[in-house]
């Protein structure tokens, strides 16, 4: 098995920690201007968005209720919104403005299911913020309401995102060469 150190040697830094923080500050300003109202119900998508949320939420000017949600896709090959819920949104979001915070938008399959579930519960508005938007060569089924930084169609990790379960604690965003 390849060692962690040798894996890191085969990566480059796509965004430094400083660049990520600038992106988070900008997206926070955008959200504060765009979403009207006193209350905001924030749902952090575990595990990847844990770090992004921890930095973003203190920059938001609302009376905030914060919870987490956790969904995984059934294996790699299944498409069509089939996700398995580990922690579903609860009905406290009924009639509320909901902001979903996620790490990266790839194909958007998980996200579509998350939004569907929030709307089924009766959320008034569902907004969606991602730290990274992966640029694919095809149209996505969904666009983020807010996104901080674009990444190429490559595997990235660090700042919350994992590579085979590790690397979430890296302060920069790494890309595999």
Q: Does residue 24 contact residue 52 with C-beta atoms inside 8 Å? A: yes
- Count the Cβ atoms, other than its own, within 10 Å of residue 120: 9
Q: Does residue 132 contact residue 105 with C-beta atoms inside 8 Å? A: yes
Q: Does residue 15 contact residue 23 with C-beta atoms inside 8 Å? A: yes
Distance in Å, CB of 88 to ligand IMP, minimum: 16
Distance in Å, CB of 59 to ligand IMP, minimum: 21
- Residues 109-148: x where in contact with ligand IMP by CB under 6 A, - otherwise, as a string: xxx----------------------x--------------
Q: How many residues bind ligand IMP (CB under 6 A)?
A: 16
Residues 39-78 that bind ligand IMP (CB under 6 A): 48
Dihedral sign from CA coordinates of 54, 56, 60, 63: negative
**Binder to ligand IMP among 129, 161, 170, 173 (CB under 6 A)?**
161
Query: Which residue's CB is nearer to ligand IMP, number 46 or number 93?
Result: 46
Query: Which residue's CB is nearer to Mg ion, number 48 or number 89?
Result: 48
**Binder to Mg ion among 23, 48, 160, 167 (CB under 5 A)?**
48
- Tell me which DSSP letter residue 140 carries: -
d(CA 96, CA 153) in angstroms, rounded, equals 34
Cα 65 to Cα 60, 98, 133, distances in angstroms: 12, 10, 25
Distance in Å, CB of 63 to ligand IMP, minimum: 27
Residues forming contacts to ligand IMP in the complex (CB under 6 A) are 48, 102-111, 134, 155-157, 161
């Amino acid at each position: 098995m390849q060692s962690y150190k040798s894996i890191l040697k085969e990566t480059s830094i796509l965004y430094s920690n400083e660049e990520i923080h600038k992106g988070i500050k900008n997206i926070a300003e955008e959200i504060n201007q765009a979403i009207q109202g006193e209350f905001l119900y924030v749902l952090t998508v575990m595990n990847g968005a844990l770090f992004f949320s921890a930095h973003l939420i203190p920059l938001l000017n609302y009376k905030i209720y914060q919870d987490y949600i956790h969904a995984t896709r059934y294996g790699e090959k299944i498409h069509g919104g089939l996700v398995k819920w580990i922690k579903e949104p609860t009905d406290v979001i009924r009639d509320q403005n909901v902001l979903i915070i996620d790490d990266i938008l790839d194909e958007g399959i998980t996200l579509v299911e998350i939004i569907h579930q929030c709307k089924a519960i009766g959320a008034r508005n569902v907004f969606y913020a991602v730290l990274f938007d992966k640029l694919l060569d095809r149209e996505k089924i969904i666009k983020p309401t807010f996104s901080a930084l674009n990444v190429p169609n490559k595997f990235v990790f660090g700042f919350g995102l994992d590579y085979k379960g590790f690397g979430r604690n890296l302060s920069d965003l790494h890309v595999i060469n």
